[in-house]
Amino acid sequence: MVLCRSCDLAIRKRALPSNVRAICPRCHSVLYDSPYCSINGMLALCVTALMFYLPANLFPVLEIHFFGSIRTTTVFQGALAVMDQGYWIVGIAVLVAAVLAPGVLILSIFTQILIVKFGLKTHPGRALLKHLLRHQGLLSELTMLEIYVISFLVSAFQLSDFSDIFFGIGTFCFVMLFVTTLFLQREYNLDHMWSFLDENH
Amino acid sequence: MKTTESLQGQALGLVLCHVCQQLNQSKVGHCRRCGQALRQRDHGSIQKSWALLITAAILLVPANIYPITTIVKQGKIIQDTILSGILHLVQSDMLPIAIIVFVASILVPWLKIIGLVIYLSAISFNIPVSKRKLMVGFHIIEWIGRWSMLDLFVISLTVALVNMGQLLDAKPAPAATAFALVVLLTQLAAKVLDTRLLWDRLEKQDDAN
């Protein structure tokens, strides 16, 4: 038995083939999909994402040449630039959505994987896993790498009107960070992660 | 698969944990898996959602009439609102970019606020609208709302890059903060709302989906 989280309809749960989602017959919200995620696959994606995370944030994502003067910016400097002008709400939004939330998200999933692999029998491990899973939804919503990637493409087009645009190693790393995080979030299944806490008490 | 009788969890004495989706008995106070406090329905969520939505709707006015960027070009100050920025993009032959910015900064916030007003009105005033369509619309709003952040990201990149003093200098302007708050508040308004309330209220009168 499951309940639809959007309309509270009671539905008998059935096994699903892979890549199929169950939809609520009354309100058409997604009910559940096959609760599976490859722990080792996620570990690989996590390590890859972590490797790209630092260069993506340390190297400039965009560089412009304008009458001989060169300006570069990282994601972090972009956030600081608007904060310097007194627009700290905008700056914090950029910082959280494009720098902090993705980093914490990847670290959180990495820790969850390590606990599932090695620490599921220990009490602190289980407590930490529960804590991380409770905040997973929020972190996932705050992560806006896909929007950021589109926005630096938009900026590049706009700026190319009067200056020369260059992409650097930082751009490449940021796009790779976005791609690996996208696959990681696709592979990740919150129901499955919670079910690790049900088993082996 | 169409269920013959639509039984709700409420009638069965069951409640879903909204954090971990664990099914619990209604009589227990906290989820047996994650410890979250359980509630059959969150009736106060309509008021919270209305409050956030009305605030967002008010902020949408300054977000649209005040300039969102200030550009100093060879000593001349040019201020752009969201709309005039888009018009400039159209004039400088960047139609695809103009469409992206238009969708993210104008279409999505307006649709989101209008959509949420319709949704909340349907709950608060028992307006007979197709519940299924409302729910589909609600999920679209939930998903697409975050894309409004695009313009703010573009502004932060532009401000960081374009700072050549009197020659050319870009700065954010007051509408940026208002717009950021509109995005935040509308996302929260959708998030706090207990959508199950829609299906309870109208259930009593007619079951026309």
Query: Could you report the predicted ipTM of this complex, rounded to two decimals?
Result: 0.91
> Domain extents for chain A?
1-34, 38-198
Give residue-wise pLDDT tens across range A109-166: 999 999 999 988 888 999 999 999 999 999 999 999 999 999 989 999 989 888 899 9
Find the CB nearest A161 among B92, B155, B198.
B92
pLDDT at A201: 47
- Does residue B157 lie in a domain region? yes
- Does residue B69 lie in a domain region? yes
Give residue-wise pLDDT tens across range A98-111: 999 999 999 999 99
If one counts the domains in chain B, the total is: 2
Number of H helices, E strands in chain B: 9, 6
The verdict on B6 and B49 lying in the same domain is no
List the one residue out of A154, A149, A164, A158 whose CA is nearest residue A64.
A164
- Does residue B156 lie in a domain region? yes
The verdict on B101 and B15 lying in the same domain is no
Are A73 and B164 an interchain contact pair (Cβ–Cβ within 8 Å)? no
List the one residue out of B5, B18, B9, B206 whose CA is nearest residue B122.
B206
d(CA B196, CA A132): 26
**Residue A47 pLDDT grade (very low, low, confident, very high; cuts 50, 70, 90):** very high
Give residue-wise pLDDT tens across range A60-85: 999 999 888 899 999 999 999 999 99
pLDDT at B157: 94
pLDDT at A179: 97
**Residue B115 pLDDT grade (very low, low, confident, very high; cuts 50, 70, 90):** very high
A13 touches chain B (CB under 8 A): no
The verdict on B84 and B57 lying in the same domain is yes
Are B157 and A2 an interchain contact pair (Cβ–Cβ within 8 Å)? no
Are B157 and A8 an interchain contact pair (Cβ–Cβ within 8 Å)? no
Q: Is the dihedral of CA B187, A138, B42, B44 positive or negative?
A: negative
In A, residues 97-156, which contact B (CB 8 Å cutoff)? 97-98, 130, 133-134, 137, 141, 144, 147-148, 150-152, 154-155
The verdict on B20 and B67 lying in the same domain is no
- Does residue B209 lie in a domain region? no
d(CA A140, CA A15): 27
The verdict on B62 and B145 lying in the same domain is yes
A15 touches chain B (CB under 8 A): no
DSSP state of B35: -
The verdict on B69 and B82 lying in the same domain is yes
The verdict on B161 and B123 lying in the same domain is yes
- Is residue B204 pLDDT above 80, yes or no? no
- Does residue B208 lie in a domain region? no
The verdict on B98 and B114 lying in the same domain is yes
- Does residue B68 lie in a domain region? yes
The verdict on B67 and B95 lying in the same domain is yes
pLDDT at B148: 93
A194 touches chain B (CB under 8 A): yes
pTM: 0.90
The verdict on B84 and B115 lying in the same domain is yes
Residue A127 burial (C-beta neighbours within 10 Å; 0-12, 13-18, 19+): exposed
**Structure token pair of residue A166:** 């260059």
**Structure token pair of residue B26:** 């209604």
**Which residue intervals of B31-130 are DSSP H helices?**
45-65, 82-91, 95-102, 108-124
The verdict on B97 and B109 lying in the same domain is yes
Question: Could you tell me the residue range of the domain that residue B76 belongs to?
Answer: 42-203
Are A158 and B131 an interchain contact pair (Cβ–Cβ within 8 Å)? no
The verdict on B18 and B70 lying in the same domain is no
- Is residue A27 pLDDT above 80, yes or no? yes
Are A133 and B34 an interchain contact pair (Cβ–Cβ within 8 Å)? yes
